[in-house]
A and B are shown apart, each in its own frame.
Chain A
Amino acid sequence: MRGILTIAGKDLRSLFYSPLFWVISFLLTGVWSVLYQVSLGTFARNATMMQMQGQESSMSLHEHVFAQHVGLVNFLMILAVVALTMRLFAEEKKNRTFDLLLTSPVTATQIVAGKYLAGLLASWTLVGISLLYPLATMFLADFDLGPLMASYLGLLLLVACYVAVGMFASSLTESTVLAVVMGLIFSVGIWFIGALSEAVEQPFWVTVFEHLSVGKHFSFFIRGGVGVASIVFFLSVVFINCFLTQRVVESSRWR
């Protein structure tokens, strides 16, 4: 446990001490601030208009503002997470500091767990910041917190997947550029596994690929649902990528 925390602490420290994290936070909050305000403003205008026309307002804040915001956060987090995880392994390999980790009394599993924890905490910090926008809306309007919290649970799980995928990409190379490219392709790629259900004939495989669809599971959370199957799905993606990373780290001994 101590090995994990030591490595996680070191990587978190190096993330927070580098300009990278702050530039990413700055850009993300900039985009979110502008777009959130715009969509909230549009929603408010439409709602008032409907009231003025004497219609019963059937528009839901969650559906029109929060769901959009969560979608935007998800999209930008794909990019941000890849940037945050690209250095986890690639840089250690390039600077030969990986030698220090591999000759220290820590196992490959501990190294991977420590690095995953660091990437996860940094990425979740950004997700946490994005939650401030809907929460601040509480001062303006009354709404049900339930669906928002469900959406954010989905978002946290999805971001956890991106971190695992990005870390795996980083472990494959010592070039951070290649780590970014691979990380992006992998992260975007998991969204398209579900699309394969269109490409197969047998009903069995159609069901399998439908279950592997990130979009299907994520939209379930956005609609306000919390399903064990979906949680298990996201945790499996995390586990598989961490496991693969662990194998890559372990295999560096055999080369």
Chain B
Amino acid sequence: MIEVRDLTKSYGLHKAIDRLNFSVNKGEVVGFLGPNGAGKTTTMKIITGFMAPTSGQVKVAGLDVFEDPVEVKKRIGYLPETPPVYGDMTVEEYLRFVAHLKGAERAKIPSLVARAIEKTNLGDVRKRLIQNLSKGFRQRVGISGAIVSDPEILILDEPTVGLDPRQVAEIRALVKELAGQHTILLSTHILPEVQASCERIIIINRGRIVAEDSLDGLTKRMSGSGRVVIRVRRAIFGLAEALGSITGVRHVAAVSGSVQSGQASSNGNGNGLGAVSQVAGEVVFEIETDGAEDTIEKIAAQVVGQGAGLMEMKSESVNLENVFLQLTSSEEQQGSNVAAGVQS
């Protein structure tokens, strides 16, 4: 349905997006994920024909966005970051205007407007002026405007920003409901949102795609790594080094404690670095492991064996947040490492 080929957009020397390639199939719900300023909005604006790319091509339903903009725009419902609503119109008037503007069949407009109002739960405010509505309602009016002409493709730029938790849940439910009938591309920097509503995720960072996979695929990609957090009563000298030398432990970090805590890291062969001074006090360690259960068992044995006084131990499963953080920060780290001439 949407095909993006080598899409690049530069603002002067700054490249907002750099040779993006992806496609969205009919009926799919795709999450477009990335930190602020990653290029999500720019990409969406280009797909909707709002903006021209510096180079590259976008095809929507087989039509080139720049050769046939009017036909493409008929097929797309777009919700920009700021909902494009007119304060001096009532909700109903606005939706009628958008439907006309989108070129919907005249006879169908009353039923289209009624359907959009019903789907976004705007029945109570249909006669109110938009300028008197709260931010959450305006956002919903914006979404309502995007779906009113019943377009094949919905492009929603951060649809849940500024909504309260209940409204967020409603919008997510709405996206799920719309999923069957429309192809949806949804951008967000909020992770639970994609988890809740998207089948496929494209993670973008600094104008490049860093990962493109299904939710399961991405989580699996991270399997083979896990995290264990332990809290011990006494900071035993050498505990961090000992933990670091366990096979399967990748990194040990003392994150809090009443003592000056050091760091130890290991490549798995037991070459500990750093030190923890031996002063009594509670310490919390965060340990990155290969995710194997054996490793967790060894960690527990080591802590108890050293008599550090194990107070708490929990194993955290890898969630999308870790995937996201790793994918979007690894690139930056690589960059800085190269700059510093350090081998990682």
A3, A6, A96, A104: the one within 8 Å of B80 (CB) = A96
- B97 near A10 with CB under 8 A, answer yes
Does A202 interact with chain B (Cβ within 8 Å)? no
A6, A14, A96: the one within 8 Å of B82 (CB) = A96
- B97 near A105 with CB under 8 A, answer no
- B88 near A18 with CB under 8 A, answer yes
Number of A-B contacts (CB under 8 A): 68
Could you tell me the distance in whole angstroms from the C-beta of B167 to the nearest C-beta in chain A?
A: 21
Most chain B CB atoms below 10 A, which of A2, A14, A96, A102: A102
- B98 near A103 with CB under 8 A, answer no
Does B174 interact with chain A (Cβ within 8 Å)? no
- Stretch in contact with the other chain, from B46-54, B158-166, B240-248, B328-336: B46-54
B82's nearest neighbour on chain A, judged by CB, is A96
- A104 near B85 with CB under 8 A, answer no
Complex CA gap A96/B51 in Å reads 14
- Stretch in contact with the other chain, from B31-39, B68-76, B203-211, B256-264: B68-76
Residues in B with CB closer than 8 Å to A14 are 86, 88-89
Residues in A with CB closer than 8 Å to B100 are 2, 6
A15's nearest neighbour on chain B, judged by CB, is B88
The interface size bin for chain A is 20 to 34
- A99 near B103 with CB under 8 A, answer no
Complex CA gap A238/B265 in Å reads 74
- A96 near B103 with CB under 8 A, answer no
Does B226 interact with chain A (Cβ within 8 Å)? no
Contacts A105-B73, A106-B70, A253-B51 given; does A100 touch B88 at CB 8 Å: no
Contacts A96-B80, A100-B145, A253-B50 given; does A106 touch B88 at CB 8 Å: no
Which A116-140 residues have C-beta < 8 A from chain B?
A: none
- A107 near B50 with CB under 8 A, answer no
Complex CA gap A95/B142 in Å reads 13
Does A7 interact with chain B (Cβ within 8 Å)? yes
A91's nearest neighbour on chain B, judged by CB, is B86
Does A26 interact with chain B (Cβ within 8 Å)? no
Complex CA gap A107/B72 in Å reads 12
Complex CA gap A14/B86 in Å reads 9
B142's nearest neighbour on chain A, judged by CB, is A100
Complex CA gap A33/B52 in Å reads 53
Contacts A14-B88, A95-B87 given; does A103 touch B52 at CB 8 Å: no
Does B78 interact with chain A (Cβ within 8 Å)? yes
Complex CA gap A253/B73 in Å reads 14
Could you tell me the distance in whole angstroms from the C-beta of B94 to the nearest C-beta in chain A?
A: 10
Residues in A with CB closer than 8 Å to B87 are 95
A7, A103, A105, A106: the one within 8 Å of B71 (CB) = A105
- B101 near A7 with CB under 8 A, answer yes
Residues in A with CB closer than 8 Å to B250 are none
Complex CA gap A102/B48 in Å reads 9
Does B56 interact with chain A (Cβ within 8 Å)? no
- B103 near A105 with CB under 8 A, answer yes
Complex CA gap A99/B145 in Å reads 13
- B86 near A102 with CB under 8 A, answer no
A17's nearest neighbour on chain B, judged by CB, is B88
Complex CA gap A238/B209 in Å reads 48
Does B84 interact with chain A (Cβ within 8 Å)? yes
Does A204 interact with chain B (Cβ within 8 Å)? no
Q: B-contacting residues of A (Cβ < 8 Å)?
A: 2-3, 6-7, 10, 14, 17-18, 95-107, 253-255
Known contacts A3-B103, A6-B100; can you find 4 more A-B pairs with CB under 8 A? A2-B100, A14-B89, A97-B84, A254-B52
Q: A-contacting residues of B (Cβ < 8 Å)?
A: 48-52, 69-71, 73-74, 76, 78, 80, 82, 84-89, 97-98, 100-103, 145
Instruction: Pick the 7 closest A-B CB pairs, nearest first.
Output: A100-B84, A105-B73, A96-B82, A6-B100, A105-B74, A97-B84, A105-B70
